[in-house]
Amino acid sequence: MALATLDAIILQAFPYSETSKILRLLTPGHGVQSVMAKGARRLRSRYGGILEPFTDGFATFYLRQNRELHTLSDFELVRPRQALGRDLVRFGGASLLAEIMLRTASEEAAPEVFSRVRSALDRLEAASPETVEATALAETWALITALGFGPSLDRCVECGEAVPDEGELFLDYAAGGVFCKACQGGGGGGRVLPEPARADLRALSAGVVVELPRTGAHWQLLSRFLAFHLVDAASLRSLDFLYGARGAQ
Amino acid sequence: MGVIDELTAEFARLPGVGRKTAARLTFFLLKRSPDEARRLARAIDAVADRVRHCSRCGNLTETDPCGLCEDPRRDRSVICVVEEAADVLAIERTGQYRGMYHVLAGRLSPLEGVGPEDLNIDSLLRRLVGSTGGKEVQELIIATNPSVEGEATALYLQKLVRPRGVRVTRLARGLPVGGDLEYADGVTIAEALSGRREL
């Protein structure tokens, strides 16, 4: 047992009893950890209003092996992200990133994933209203790639041969990438990707924000791809919320 | 399971009550006269039987519409939107507000699977088209909690309501009365600064 102070992003915060909160924290060295913040819901709590989803800070708690819930001792604010709640697509996008992390949660060290989530939240917050949807898409695809199940777009998932940049190819959701012309594919769920769509997806997977005239098709593609790669992804609730938020904007 | 264990287990399901407190409550009741225990049982029974949600505002009530909705002295041109029925009590305790209420029964939280369709938003929109006793609603005060999710809920409501020509306001945020600036957290101070007002 050791008192540890860790870089942490609050992925989720929910009430526990009359006065406390349970937080799901993303840390670089210990993956996702759950902590209880006692007294955090009191009006004059020492934590004040900082224990909110997407907040970035230093969390101090006794890290005990084989324990599912730790007790938070201190949380030092580095970056509040209240502004994400002031725009529905930003809020939905940040929630989607958090939900993907919670669905793939493990306690293993993943510093690159932590950095990816941190920069994704920063970029979502800073994006202009015109690019916020494309930014949410780019950051989600980039996170999926950082987690190790991003789509293979440059090599055939069957034979491993490099595929040409030109022409349309079949993207197989279950196989996790494109099939070359020789291997064909298409037995499972998937769709034909025209050349520009593949270029956009390649850029998005690298976290590059591109101009997307039809974001609806991209959200649909993301939703179907995730359905094959996340447990129970059919009910990815943040994605449903994002669909609605796009209409409400 | 004996009746003592059963009652203890039921108490332990209440918020903030652990096994020890539950056992203490059970033995407290057993030490009192049987009439006292029966009175408590009757009160719980009556609440379960009679309390329901007001069909207009969503508040908890014994009569439908609730006393607040039926009170002719209240200002029907203002509706204060809150997350939970307990928030109505909190605002009523101030004695400063004489308008109407609307209880959403939650706030938007994609991570917890709460979307707009899970909240009492449709009934709120229906109230805005003149079904509140003949007097048109002119202002909606959004009093959702000052959290990221409460803020998103407020924004969602604002986008729905503003095109209908209703003024939308939000409760102010900042330092608690009697608090020390020195001990306030950064987020609260930042909110207080951005929401500062002319003296």
| Percentage of the residues of chain B whose pLDDT score is greater than 70 | 97
Give me the residues paired with residue A59 across strands: A6, A75
Q: How far off is chain A from B17, nearest CA to CA, in Å?
A: 9
Q: Considering only alpha carbons, which residue of chain B is nearest residue A47?
A: B185
Residue-wise burial string across A121-146, b where 16 or more C-beta atoms lie within 10 A, e elsewhere: bebbbebeeebbbbbbbbbbbbbbbb
Give me the residues paired with residue B168 across strands: B140
Q: What is the structure's pLDDT at B50?
A: 95
Residues of A with CB under 8 A from a CB of B: 11-12, 14, 17-19, 43-44, 46-50, 52-55, 77, 80-82, 84-88, 91-92, 95-96, 98-99, 102, 235, 237-238, 240-242, 244-245, 248-249
Query: Which residues of A are less than 8 Å from B113 in CB distance?
Result: 235, 237
Using CB atoms within 10 Å of the CB of residue A150, give its burial: 0 to 12 exposed, 13 to 18 middle, 19+ buried: buried
ipTM of the complex: 0.81
Please give the average per-residue pLDDT across B31-46, as a whole number: 94
User: For residue range A195-243, what is the model confidence (pLDDT) as tens digits?
Assistant: 899 999 999 999 999 888 888 889 989 998 998 888 765 678 898 888 8
Question: Hey, what amino acid is at B192?
Answer: A
How far is the C-alpha of B52 from the C-alpha of B58, rounded, in Å?
A: 9
Band (B138; pLDDT cuts 50, 70, 90): very high
Q: Do B148 and A102 touch (CB under 8 A)?
A: no
- The domains found in chain B, sorted by start residue, are 3-50 (1.10.8.420), 74-170 (3.40.1360.10)
Task: Quote the crossing angle between the two packed helices B19-31 and B34-50, to the nearest 10°.
Answer: 120
Q: What is the structure's pLDDT at B73?
A: 95
* Distance between start and end Cα atoms, chain A: 48
Question: Residues in chain A with pLDDT < 70?
Answer: 1, 185-188, 232-234, 247-249
Q: Any CB–CB contact under 8 A between B122 and chain A?
A: no
- Kindly report the pTM of this predicted structure: 0.85
Q: Determine the residue among B13, B19, B107, B111 to mutate to test chain A binding: the one whose Cβ has the most chain A Cβ atoms within 10 Å.
A: B111
- Of the candidates B15, B159, B191, the beta carbon closest to that of A18 is on B15
Name the token pair of A185. 């594919």
- The domains found in chain A, sorted by start residue, are 2-80 (2.40.50.140), 84-151+192-248 (1.20.1440)
C-alpha count within 13 angstroms, C-beta hemisphere, residue B53: 14
Band (B84; pLDDT cuts 50, 70, 90): very high
Q: What is the structure's pLDDT at A234?
A: 62
